[in-house]
Chains A and B, each alone.
Chain A
Amino acid sequence: MLATALPALSDAAALILQPMVLGYLILGVVMGLCIGVFPGLGGIAGLSLLLPFMFGMDPVLGLALMIGMVAVVPTSDTFASVLMGIPGSSASQATVLDGFPMAKKGEAARALSAAFASSLFGGLVGAAFLTVFILVARPIVLEFRTPELLMITIFGLSMVGILAGRVAIKGIVAAGLGMMIGTIGEGDSAGELRMATYDMPYLVDGLKLVIVGLGIFAIPEIIALLRQDRAISDRKPLGGGWMTGVRDWFANIWLSVRCSIIGVVVGVIPGLGGSVVDWIAYGHTVQTTKDKSKFGSGEVRGVIGPESSNNAKEGGGLVPTLLFGIPGSGSMAIFIGAIALLGSGDIEVGPSMLKNNLDITYAIVWLLALANVVGTLICIAASGGIARLTTIPFSLLAPFLFMIIAFAAFQSGQDIMDLVALFGIGLLGILMRRFDWSRPAFLIGFVLSNPAETYANQAVQIAASRFRKSFGEGIEYIFSPIVIVLIIITVISVVLGLRQAKTIMAEGAVESGAKRAPMVFLLAVLAYLLVAFIDAATIPDYASADRVFPRFVSGLAVIGCLILLAQMMMRPETHALFADREASDDSRHGLWSTLAWFAALLALTAVVGFVLALAVFLLTFIRFRAGRSWRFAILYTAAGIAFICAMAGVLNRDFPAGLLQDVAKLPWPLG
């Protein structure tokens, strides 16, 4: 094994260490940073931009460009997570939990540099691990059959236990609600519709992660900050914060090592990829920290854990991509397509990769590591300056964020309904935040809903066929050693998690208020779950595979709701059950009047199209809500429109069209 690896390694080094290759790598990294900074845009958008240039390009140069771009996305999306509380991509959902509170405390630079140092380290550990692992990976990956995949999904779901908050049942119901939102649309097994009709084609495809992520995390935070009408951080940024962050990382280096390994290992398994890695890492971080009281209000370990894992995951994700030709993520899928265009198409991703292209394989692994180094250095250098964003009055930042979020959401389905869905989920997010329902639990439920259902159905079906052959074969299939180990880990993690959950306030402390409002929200959640339960029950027998999962989940969640309802009736209104942020509110503006601004942008878009609506929105918002002069408002609007048009132009994206565009043909970008 070593005999084949060593020459290939030195071949790979010779391929990479050329000025031209490094130049392309840096170009890719810079482009990736520019795109990754924006929430909702990531590797897919960036690689699509590069695709037209890949045809016939020198393979190593093309790889350097593409890998440079892909590798920095999980690094640069940290900016949005930490500075604005918006998960930049699915890989940094968990970073928000502690990163954003740190930014609010004026420690943005510290959080960022700790995150970047961890990212870098994770990327390097990932590459080192892969160098050895890739030679033996194939048979190991093949050991992960459907029951194993299902168990890992369940293990990911068990992280809900830790993130459930003070009232465990509330967290479980939140996760159940997330899973039910995840089942909306056409079932994977028999194509039956759940909570959708063919009259509303939008819902048939289900809701996209970008929309749910932005709606459940970003919109509530933006609205809340806007209501307080001050900067993200009301304190002066701590001087020289970025060195502190690097020192924080170094002090927790073993945590970083462990989370990096979690990242690679989970990343290696095809079919799950990034969606669970950061939650598992966060869960592990919490469980291994002695003083858990600071999680959720700015614990630096809560940033180091997930960030170490998410870059390592990119390396792990290369294993299924390169060895099986099966993309671990959307961006990897384009990556595979792009490799086929390189040179004269000699590189074939798939089972023959190790045999024929071991040098290229190693070149890819180490380009990835190198891209991490370059990207991190650029990010750390920039973090001090970019952290100052947290001191800008939020009323100036918010319209810009609304613009980006609406644009990003629209890219997921290129449908005006994307904006409606964003608003709807945003409203749900606002209410969940207000009544202290765990939004991370909801998001975990949503993300893992589809894998949980699909793997469960498939495992049952395949197991049934094995049991028909013989009982022993069936048992052997379901309870493989890997499954048993995973079950043990999951049980331990749930028990520990529930015991500790009470001390972890994933979203900060919330006071209790009156009984009525939390109760009304609970009843609304219960009503939706009941409707979903009844809707699932109407699915006919021949399509029962699409019925079992939503019925089971909504059934459990309804029971949870009923228990909560009973508790609410018996407990006094000071109990944590009645948490309500409005009870201790120091906001300067009302919720509805603030939300109305965003609603107006969406409504106006439906009428006159995005760009015109944006112009009106930016102008009036800056003039009247932010109270700046007309001159300032006009300049701001012009800059905003120019920016979004340039971005859409480069990425070749459309804007949402309104009724106006239906009747009149307008030139781009208006039409």
Chain B
Amino acid sequence: MDLKNITRRVAGAFIAAATTATLATGAFADGHGMDMSGKTVEWIIPFSETGGSAKWANFYAPLLSEALPGQPTVVVKFMPGAGSTKGANWFQKQKFEDSEGTVIFGSSGSTQFPYLLGDPRVRYEYGDWNVVLASGTGGVAYLPPELAKEMDGNDASALRDTDFIYGSQGATRLDLVPLLAWEMLGLNVEPVFGIKGRGDGRLMFERGEANIDYQTSSSYLKGVTPLVEEGTAVPMMSWGALDADGDIVRDPTFPDMPTFKEVCDATDGCESSGEKWEAWKAFFIAGFPAQKMVFLPAGASKDAIATYTKAFEKIKARDDFADISAKRLGKYPQMTGDKAAGALSSATEVPQEAKDFVIGWLKERYGVSLK
């Protein structure tokens, strides 16, 4: 892109913002998909500019702009606060008629967990929204080499007399999944709270202060793979991925790594069935295979849903999509249409027993009450 082009696009964005504002009440074509030319789509991300959701949205935004009919400007707008519940509550109040498809919302696992755990700040209802894309991811736990050596194949029981330190963002966040998994294996993991992002957790591991850690797939590929090559970190297990039947199988991004299910099966005292396992699985599904989703607000027209679904399908059909998405997002399903709806329901319709178990466990183990 040359210099002139940039100035033109900046100016264009400005003019577009001004004109959409004045023309927002104008009608658009009916029936045959929406024409969005000249409009500005605001993609609300309920986190700050610095997190994983920002990277995900920034990856998709320019592609979405090209794929939507009329090539509207797509801008990512950050609305951080209260661990994403602020932005989600705001989105719940949006009426489709007011924006007519120019406001979309990107949720994440951190939006799903407080919803599932009955956080008093949650005023939003996933059932009201219309999902148009669901992006999956995975996670990998890893150890320092001297501790990884103690594992007997997939049997982790030899690690039980080690004092583990783990840099954590908070027990009610996505960290719930690794913490519960390690506990099921009988490991004595003490979370050190107060870190600001998983990157800080990895740094703590690199400094030798933490001796167990986990990263989501893309951060693992970027930040931990070099450590593994250097020999200062060894992968322990992945959380796995879901197959079509809803069973946990090996993560396609890490086919050589055992899943937590395999490690659990090989370790005495850890069972991949029963209440605890079901609770872990439910929260894993809520947090990873459908971690990030794009929504249209309540009351969206069929037209708008179809337009966005088609646009995301068009992005997936790009020749270079496999290549560019594998680098930024990892090899995970990017689901649209019925698949996205299926992912949404498995992520948000968690059995009451699983919720009760986790709420009770959080209270008992970490003294966290969400009232």
Q: Is the CB of A668 within 8 A of B3?
A: no
Kindly specify which of A157-165, A337-345, A528-536, A558-566 makes contact with the partner chain.
A337-345
- Bits for B1-30, please: 1 = Cβ < 8 Å to A, else 0: 101001001100110011011101100000
B100-138 CB contacts (< 8 Å) to partner A: 120-121
Q: Is the CB of B207 within 8 A of A340?
A: no
- Bits for A1-34, please: 1 = Cβ < 8 Å to B, else 0: 0000000000000000000000110010000000
Among the listed B10, B50, B163, B203, which residue makes an inter-chain contact with A468, where contact means beta carbons less than 8 Å apart?
A: B163
CB within 8 Å for A461 and B192 given contacts A48-B49, A345-B327, A351-B227: yes
Q: Is the CB of B22 within 8 A of A205?
A: no
Would you call A334 an interface residue if the criterion is a C-beta within 8 Å of the partner chain's C-beta atoms?
yes
Q: Is the CB of B17 within 8 A of A668?
A: yes
What's the nearest-Cβ distance from chain B to residue A30, in Å?
Answer: 11
Q: Is the CB of B48 within 8 A of A330?
A: yes
Q: Is the CB of A458 within 8 A of B192?
A: yes
Q: Is the CB of B192 within 8 A of A198?
A: no
Q: Is the CB of A201 within 8 A of B86?
A: yes
Among the listed A205, A415, A457, A667, which residue makes an inter-chain contact with B21, where contact means beta carbons less than 8 Å apart?
A: A667
The interface centre, meaning the residue of B3, B22, B24, B199 with most chain A CB atoms within 10 A of its CB, is B199
Among the listed B22, B48, B190, B203, which residue makes an inter-chain contact with A326, where contact means beta carbons less than 8 Å apart?
A: B203
What's the nearest-Cβ distance from chain A to residue B234, in Å?
Answer: 15
A372-401 CB contacts (< 8 Å) to partner B: none
Q: Is the CB of A337 within 8 A of B18?
A: no
> Which residue of chain B is the closest to A54 with respect to CB atoms?
B58
Among the listed B24, B98, B121, which residue makes an inter-chain contact with A201, where contact means beta carbons less than 8 Å apart?
A: B121
Would you call B206 an interface residue if the criterion is a C-beta within 8 Å of the partner chain's C-beta atoms?
yes
Q: Is the CB of A351 within 8 A of B192?
A: no
- Whole-angstrom distance between the alpha carbons of A345 and B77 in the complex? 23
Q: Is the CB of A270 within 8 A of B82?
A: no
> Which residue of chain A is the closest to B364 with respect to CB atoms?
A542
Would you call A469 an interface residue if the criterion is a C-beta within 8 Å of the partner chain's C-beta atoms?
yes
Q: Is the CB of B163 within 8 A of A469?
A: yes
Would you call A511 an interface residue if the criterion is a C-beta within 8 Å of the partner chain's C-beta atoms?
no
Would you call B81 an interface residue if the criterion is a C-beta within 8 Å of the partner chain's C-beta atoms?
yes
Q: Is the CB of B6 within 8 A of A188?
A: no
Kindly specify which of A124-132, A358-366, A646-654 makes contact with the partner chain.
A646-654
Would you call A258 an interface residue if the criterion is a C-beta within 8 Å of the partner chain's C-beta atoms?
no
Query: Which residues from chain B contact A48 at a C-beta distance below 8 Å?
Result: 49, 78
Would you call A555 an interface residue if the criterion is a C-beta within 8 Å of the partner chain's C-beta atoms?
no
Would you call B38 an interface residue if the criterion is a C-beta within 8 Å of the partner chain's C-beta atoms?
no
Query: Which residues from chain A contact B165 at a C-beta distance below 8 Å?
Result: 461-462, 465
What's the nearest-Cβ distance from chain B to residue A373, in Å?
Answer: 21
Would you call A44 an interface residue if the criterion is a C-beta within 8 Å of the partner chain's C-beta atoms?
yes
- Whole-angstrom distance between the alpha carbons of A334 and B230 in the complex? 28
- Whole-angstrom distance between the alpha carbons of A190 and B54 in the complex? 26
Query: Which residues from chain B contact A543 at a C-beta distance below 8 Å?
Result: 367
Count, chain A residues at interface, CB 8 A: 72
Q: Is the CB of A271 within 8 A of B48?
A: no
- Whole-angstrom distance between the alpha carbons of A146 and B62 in the complex? 40
Task: Give the A-B contact count at a CB cut-off of 8 A.
Answer: 167
- Whole-angstrom distance between the alpha carbons of A340 and B326 in the complex? 12
Would you call A57 an interface residue if the criterion is a C-beta within 8 Å of the partner chain's C-beta atoms?
yes
Would you call B61 an interface residue if the criterion is a C-beta within 8 Å of the partner chain's C-beta atoms?
yes
What's the nearest-Cβ distance from chain A to residue B232, in Å?
Answer: 10
> Which residue of chain B is the closest to A543 with respect to CB atoms?
B367
Q: Is the CB of A57 within 8 A of B1?
A: yes
Q: Is the CB of B17 within 8 A of A649?
A: yes
- Whole-angstrom distance between the alpha carbons of A48 and B6 in the complex? 14
- Whole-angstrom distance between the alpha carbons of A462 and B204 in the complex? 11
Would you call B361 an interface residue if the criterion is a C-beta within 8 Å of the partner chain's C-beta atoms?
no
The interface centre, meaning the residue of B81, B163, B170, B209 with most chain A CB atoms within 10 A of its CB, is B209
Would you call A502 an interface residue if the criterion is a C-beta within 8 Å of the partner chain's C-beta atoms?
no
- Whole-angstrom distance between the alpha carbons of A55 and B21 in the complex? 26
- Whole-angstrom distance between the alpha carbons of A87 and B356 in the complex? 49
Q: Is the CB of A350 within 8 A of B223?
A: yes
B227-248 CB contacts (< 8 Å) to partner A: 227, 230
> Which residue of chain A is the closest to B10 with respect to CB atoms?
A650
- Whole-angstrom distance between the alpha carbons of A542 and B363 in the complex? 10
Query: Which residues from chain A contact B6 at a C-beta distance below 8 Å?
Result: 27, 53
Query: Which residues from chain B contact A327 at a C-beta distance below 8 Å?
Result: 50, 199
> Which residue of chain A is the closest to B11 with respect to CB atoms?
A650
Main secondary structure on chain B at its contact with chain A? helix
- Whole-angstrom distance between the alpha carbons of A333 and B58 in the complex? 13
Query: Which residues from chain A contact B187 at a C-beta distance below 8 Å?
Result: none
What's the nearest-Cβ distance from chain B to residue A267, in Å?
Answer: 16
Would you call B59 an interface residue if the criterion is a C-beta within 8 Å of the partner chain's C-beta atoms?
yes
Q: Is the CB of A545 within 8 A of B81?
A: no
Q: Is the CB of B207 within 8 A of A188?
A: no
CB within 8 Å for A51 and B121 given contacts A190-B367, A665-B98: no
Interface residues on B, range: 35 or more
What's the nearest-Cβ distance from chain B to residue A67, in Å?
Answer: 16
Would you call A348 an interface residue if the criterion is a C-beta within 8 Å of the partner chain's C-beta atoms?
yes
- Bits for B160-176, please: 1 = Cβ < 8 Å to A, else 0: 00010101001010000
Q: Is the CB of B192 within 8 A of A462?
A: yes
CB within 8 Å for A324 and B203 given contacts A204-B82, A350-B226, A652-B17: yes
Among the listed A51, A349, A350, A413, which residue makes an inter-chain contact with B76, where contact means beta carbons less than 8 Å apart?
A: A51
- Whole-angstrom distance between the alpha carbons of A626 and B18 in the complex? 32
- Whole-angstrom distance between the alpha carbons of A405 and B82 in the complex? 24
Query: Which residues from chain B contact A191 at a C-beta distance below 8 Å?
Result: 170, 172, 368
Among the listed B10, B54, B222, B367, which residue makes an inter-chain contact with A325, where contact means beta carbons less than 8 Å apart?
A: B222
Would you call B152 an interface residue if the criterion is a C-beta within 8 Å of the partner chain's C-beta atoms?
no
> Which residue of chain B is the closest to A650 with respect to CB atoms?
B14
B157-208 CB contacts (< 8 Å) to partner A: 163, 165, 167, 170, 172, 190, 192-195, 199-200, 202-204, 206-208
Would you call A357 an interface residue if the criterion is a C-beta within 8 Å of the partner chain's C-beta atoms?
no
Would you call B341 an interface residue if the criterion is a C-beta within 8 Å of the partner chain's C-beta atoms?
no
Would you call B257 an interface residue if the criterion is a C-beta within 8 Å of the partner chain's C-beta atoms?
no
Would you call B75 an interface residue if the criterion is a C-beta within 8 Å of the partner chain's C-beta atoms?
yes
What's the nearest-Cβ distance from chain A to residue B197, in Å?
Answer: 8
- Whole-angstrom distance between the alpha carbons of A454 and B225 in the complex? 28
What's the nearest-Cβ distance from chain B to residue A329, in Å?
Answer: 9
Query: Which residues from chain B contact A454 at a C-beta distance below 8 Å?
Result: 194-195
What's the nearest-Cβ distance from chain B to residue A568, in Å?
Answer: 38
- Whole-angstrom distance between the alpha carbons of A44 and B80 in the complex? 14
- Bits for B25-66, please: 1 = Cβ < 8 Å to A, else 0: 100000000000000000000001110001100110111000
Query: Which residues from chain A contact B208 at a C-beta distance below 8 Å?
Result: 142, 145
> Which residue of chain A is the closest to B18 with respect to CB atoms?
A649
> Which residue of chain A is the closest to B20 with respect to CB atoms?
A668
> Which residue of chain B is the closest to A463 with respect to CB atoms?
B209
Would you call B79 an interface residue if the criterion is a C-beta within 8 Å of the partner chain's C-beta atoms?
yes
Q: Is the CB of A325 within 8 A of B199?
A: yes
Query: Which residues from chain A contact B316 at a C-beta distance below 8 Å?
Result: none
- Whole-angstrom distance between the alpha carbons of A545 and B75 in the complex? 40
What's the nearest-Cβ distance from chain B to residue A480, in Å?
Answer: 11
- Whole-angstrom distance between the alpha carbons of A504 and B54 in the complex? 45
Would you call A640 an interface residue if the criterion is a C-beta within 8 Å of the partner chain's C-beta atoms?
no
Q: Is the CB of A44 within 8 A of B14?
A: no
What's the nearest-Cβ distance from chain B to residue A540, in Å?
Answer: 7
A638-671 CB contacts (< 8 Å) to partner B: 646, 649-650, 652, 665, 667-669, 671
Query: Which residues from chain A contact B20 at a C-beta distance below 8 Å?
Result: 668
Would you call B322 an interface residue if the criterion is a C-beta within 8 Å of the partner chain's C-beta atoms?
no
A–B Cβ pairs within 8 angstroms, 22 of them: A23-B3, A24-B3, A48-B49, A52-B74, A56-B62, A191-B172, A198-B121, A204-B121, A325-B222, A337-B50, A337-B58, A351-B227, A351-B230, A352-B226, A413-B81, A461-B165, A540-B367, A543-B367, A652-B17, A665-B25, A667-B25, A668-B21
Which B residues are closer than 8 A to A by beta carbons?
1, 3, 6, 9-10, 13-14, 17-18, 20-22, 24-25, 48-50, 54-55, 58-59, 61-63, 73-79, 81-82, 86, 98, 120-121, 163, 165, 167, 170, 172, 190, 192-195, 199-200, 202-204, 206-209, 222-223, 225-227, 230, 323-324, 327-328, 366-368
Q: Knowing that A56-B1, A190-B368, A350-B222 touch, tell me 10 more A-B residue pairs with CB under 8 angstroms.
A: A49-B10, A146-B209, A190-B366, A201-B121, A414-B79, A457-B194, A469-B163, A667-B25, A668-B17, A668-B21
